[in-house]
Amino acid sequence: MTEAAKEWLTEWVRDRVLAAPYQQQKRQATDVYAPACRTDATKAGITRRELEQAAEGNLLSYLESAVEDKMDVEVRKNRPTTSA
């Protein structure tokens, strides 16, 4: 089930996690995304252990990185282009 849990987590992050400023990333991961992810995983039949394994051993760190990655995408997308 670990591979299925990893696929589920990847999809969950893609669909639910939004970009947040650096100062809010840890709070978003801890207070919003981790509890919601655990609840949704349980509903999907994924155990807490499987979820942690899918998150490479640390769900909070995984979610913080996901929020940061989404923010990086937004920053690059909104970066003004420079002419050479």
Q: How far apart are CA 19 and CA 5, in angstroms?
A: 23
pTM of the model: 0.84
Cα radius of gyration (the chain): 15
Terminal-residue alpha carbon distance, the chain: 51
Q: How far apart are CA 28 and CA 20, in angstroms?
A: 8
Q: How far apart are CA 59 and CA 46, in angstroms?
A: 13
Instruction: Classify residue 52 by burial, with Cβ atoms within 10 Å: 0-12, 13-18, 19+.
Output: middle
- pLDDT of 80 > 90? The answer is no
Q: What is the pLDDT of residues 33-75, one digit of tens each?
A: 999 999 999 999 999 999 999 999 999 999 999 999 998 888 8
Ramachandran region of residue 81, left (φ > 0), alpha (ψ -120 to 50) or beta?
Answer: beta
Residue 75 has a pLDDT of: 84
